[in-house]
Amino acid sequence: MNVIAVDDEQLALKDLMRALEKAMPDGVSHGFSSSRRALEYAENADVDVAFLDIRMPGMNGLDLAKRLKELQPEMHIIFVTSYDEYAIDAFSLHATGYLLKPVNMDELVRELTFAGERMGEAHARDDGRASGGCSRVRVQTFNGFEVFVDEKPLSFKRSKTKELLALLIDRRGASITTREACAVLWEDAPYNASQRSYFRSLVADLRSTLVSVHAEDVVVKQRDSLAIDPGAVDCDVYHFLDGDPIAVNSYKGSYLPSYSWAEFSLNRVDWPYE
């Protein structure tokens, strides 16, 4: 892991560098007393994690974070500051973490561990895409429902087929029977042979759509039930419910807005830790 630390206060920078050396003996860390020098380094070297002070002369830490993310979008930004009033601004930049000075060693190790786990997940997704695995499938539920395969939008012949997939995503691996699915998708409409037949055609259409992009393992079909395989998709709401701070920050109160039945899931999304 290649880490940079930026702080215009020399003593604070030295303390952080010593802490980083203890926290990651096998890693590499570089300290900079100015934003300009840190930015120059990042223009020529891959950086995994950047620990940034916020209040600095010239280019402050928030502006530096923006520039660093433009250079290397996958870089993890962790702010280290004496002032907690910057937390909202920090996470609006999709910061991975936020530490208050003086840095506590346990908290520093926690942030490094989390960043390392996120890097491992990213590598696993990249490996899955390269090998044609189902991790190629990315699902967006916030601010509208969309599905991407190899970062290309997945097209559906029928809007109800897309809604069926959204319903399965919402259940996060819990199976749903034909009768239950019909009750959700058609609300007050009577459950009859015609409805069951149409639902079967939706299932066939969904399978055909997934087969066309070699992602058929995303949906698990049993005798009279369907379920999503949560491990086969990279989904924003799953990351949110797992407490991922980046996913938490990306949620702006809009979850599957096109589907009225999703309103019943909003309490779970808004308060995942109750």
Average pLDDT of the segment spanning 71-93? 70
Q: What count of Cα atoms within 13 Å lies in the side-chain half-sphere of residue 198?
A: 14
Per-residue pLDDT tens digits for 122-147:
555 555 544 444 358 999 999 899 99
For residue 178, what are the CA distances in angstroms to 124, 164, 192? 34, 11, 11
Confidence of residue 273 (pLDDT cuts 50, 70, 90): very low
Average pLDDT of the segment spanning 176-185? 94
Average pLDDT of the segment spanning 100-108? 88
Decide which of 272 and 250 is more confident: 250
| Alpha-carbon span 268 to 265, nearest angstrom | 5
- Length of the chain measured in residues: 274
Q: What domains, with CATH codes, occur in the chain?
A: 2-128 (3.40.50.2300), 137-270 (1.10.10.10)
Q: Are 23 and 109 in contact (CB under 8 A)?
A: yes
Q: What percent of the chain has pLDDT over 90?
A: 56
Average pLDDT of the segment spanning 151-176? 94
Average pLDDT of the segment spanning 62-87? 82
Is the pLDDT assigned to residue 165 strictly greater than 50? yes
Average pLDDT of the segment spanning 162-187? 94
Q: Are 169 and 233 in contact (CB under 8 A)?
A: yes
Per-residue pLDDT tens digits for 17-57:
999 999 998 889 999 999 999 999 999 999 999 999 988 99
Query: With helix as H, strand as E and coil as C, how does the chain read?
Result: CEEEEECCCHHHHHHHHHHHHHHCCCCEEEEECCHHHHHHHHCCCCCCEEEECCCCCCCCHHHHHHHHHHHCCCCEEEEEECCHHHHHHHHHCCCCEEEECCCCHHHHHHHHHHHHHHHHHHHHHHHHHHHCCHHHEEEECECCCEEEECCEECCCCCHHHHHHHHHHHHHCCCCEEHHHHHHHHCCCCCCCHHHHHHHHHHHHHHHHHHHHCCCHHHEEECCCEEEECHHHEEEHHHHHHCCCHHHHHHCCCCECCCCHHHHHHHHHHHCCCC
Decide which of 133 and 270 is more confident: 270
Q: Are 72 and 90 in contact (CB under 8 A)?
A: no
The predicted structure's pLDDT at residue 131: 46
In sequence order, which residues have a C-beta less than 8 Å from that of residue 155 and are 6 or more positions away? Answer: 209
Task: Quote the tokens at residue 243.
Answer: 């407490």
Confidence of residue 81 (pLDDT cuts 50, 70, 90): confident
Is the pLDDT assigned to residue 13 strictly greater than 60? yes
Is the pLDDT assigned to residue 190 strictly greater than 70? yes
